[in-house]
Structure 1
């Protein structure tokens, strides 16, 4: 029997949990849908969801299990919670950025942060970014920080150029 993950993020959607899960698993190469549960007759009384509507969808991205819940329009996502995607290079950064911004909010894009079409916030971060920003060479780190603050999607070459002066 597989061990259950200790902490599982639970994402509250109005009614698009299954659509969102399918979108996310299509982006992450190892993504998969693990399980669906559906509302019974009581679903309408509790969340105004018709019988048979997806209640929860368990899905996996990069080995991390998530649960999506169709709970009605009571709660919305905010930037107070986001998921960081660590990217090895510019190609991977571009891939995740381009996929997750499809249909998202262009006004919410800054410094590697974005909001997808479901309102969920993500940070698409190339592995080199924290190395440049946390460098002991404060002047170089400051130049990299200033360059990053002007970006939406992180541009590694532009960061390195700023860092190196």
Structure 2
């Protein structure tokens, strides 16, 4: 299978965003930066693309201009081992202008949507006991940042 690299369109903040993302995720780095030349369409010497890796997943950011922006139709899901990881990513990605949303969703300060999800959520939602799964679902629908203990308690009927 060919390698698939998500390409993220920014106005002018591709390098700033890449540096932010590599500061949030472990084992991450900016791997290459290219610049506009005399041919344009932007000012020569300004950042054109930024290649970066977030814990082994490659991305490219492009400073393409204000014509396109992010929306919730595309989001990145972060599978978190526990509440500590949920809290870490939630706090970092909502900092400095990020926006909290519902059911573990948020937008970072660049407008990119993320789902910060505890790994345990899948098991709760697919519990063989449909009533237990529905209680967990009902609890999740009332949350912004997901709370693992509260989800477990709801599933257990507590």
Q: TM-score range by the shorter chain?
A: over 0.9
CA root-mean-square deviation: 1.0
The aligned residue for residue 10 of structure 1 is 7
Counterpart selection for 2:78 from 64, 67, 85: 85
- Normalised to the residue count of structure 1, the TM-score between the two structures is 0.92
Match of 2:87 in 1: 94
Of the three residues 18, 23, 28, the one matched with 1:31 is 28
Q: Aligned match of 1:42 in 39, 44, 47? A: 39
Distance in 1 between residues matched to 2:119 and 2:97, nearest whole Å:
24
Does the 8 A contact of 1:115 with 1:122 survive in 2? Answer: yes
State TM-score, norm by structure 2.
Answer: 0.96
Offset of residue 103 of structure 1: 2.5
Q: 1:119 and 2:116 equivalent?
A: no
Structure 1: gaps spanning 5 or more residues: none
Matched-pair contact (CA < 8 Å) for 1:33–1:59: yes
3-state SS of paired residue (1:42) = coil
Correspondence for 2:55:
62
Aligned length: 156
Which deviations, in whole Å up to 9, do the C-alpha atoms of 1:86-134 show, x marking residues without a partner?
A: 000000110001000112443x511000000000000001000011011
- Alignment equivalent of 1:140, drawn from 132, 138, 150: 132
| Corresponding residue for residue 131 of structure 1 | 123
